[in-house]
Copies of this chain bind each other. A is one copy, B any other.
Amino acid sequence: MKPLFVIKIGGNVIDNDHELGRFLDNLAALHKPWILVHGGGKLATDLSVRLGIETQMIDGRRITDKATLDVVTMVYGGLVNKRIVAGLQSRGINAIGLTGADGDLIRARKREHPTTDYGFVGDVERVHDERLGGLLQSGFLPVLAPLTHDGKGNILNTNADTIASETASALASFYHVQLVYCFEKQGVLRDIDDEASVISRITSATYTELRASGAIAKGMIPKMDNAFTALRRGVSSVIITHADSVRHLGQQSLLGTTIALE
């Protein structure tokens, strides 16, 4: 099967023009097919503040009322997505910016929760794997904003990490998929204060040990759980690495943490 990287790029990089430019340089130097998924939460919060809309977060998830939905649709689907696409096009990469509503690529259902009304937040129901694959085959490199739709005319706000893992899992029948989470460190660190302590490989067995020893804790746990779910659904490996390392994906020289079932 052909290789495919599904790459999630987070807030720190997107919020900063210089960092974003460097990331796009690195991505443009990766001569392998990919799908990019971006966030943009900080810019959405900034716009909300300017518009006098209160931002409410519960467990790291944005409560998305109608006004907030308009903000994220504008920021994720418009500002951030088109800035990335134009930046990639200027580097000779044939990027195409999409949300889950476009081409019905990602269908979600509005989250029902017994005690919290998350508003217009969507949990992914299915990714249209064949259509995404078709776009790749036509030479487009998809840039996905973290927005889905419910098929009833509503855009829904959906976590970018989840979009990345759902997309990676859906395409695992057609491609040898590696799911890549870029962040501000070189990988998962054994000692959080030591950038040189990157754990190069984590398996189901070593993950249990690392959790027990406290080396993996807090914010990293949902990411790891997400990673193992994707692996069980057919994704070949999950890589956690620095945004600067993207150009080395698929090479021996890559610095980062590779997560695999065994």
Interface of A with B (CB < 8 Å)?
47, 50-51, 70, 73-79, 81-83, 85-87, 89-90, 94-99, 101-104, 134, 138, 140, 147, 149, 151-155
> What residues of chain B lie closer than 8 Å to A90, measured between beta carbons?
149, 151-153
Shortest distance from the beta carbon of A33 to any chain B beta carbon, whole Å? 15
- Identical copies in the complex: 2
Are A79 and B70 interface neighbours, CB within 8 A?
Answer: yes
CB distance from A53 to the nearest CB of B (A): 10
B99/A103 in contact, CB under 8 A: no
What residues on B are CB-neighbors of A152 within 8 Å? 90
Task: Give the Cβ gap from A218 to chain B, nearest Cβ, in Å.
Answer: 32
List the 10 shortest-distance A-B pairs measured between CB atoms, nearest first. Answer: A78-B78, A74-B74, A90-B153, A77-B78, A74-B78, A86-B101, A96-B102, A96-B103, A86-B149, A85-B101
Task: Determine which of B86, B89, B155 lies in contact with A83 in the assembled complex, contact meaning CB atoms within 8 Å.
Answer: B155
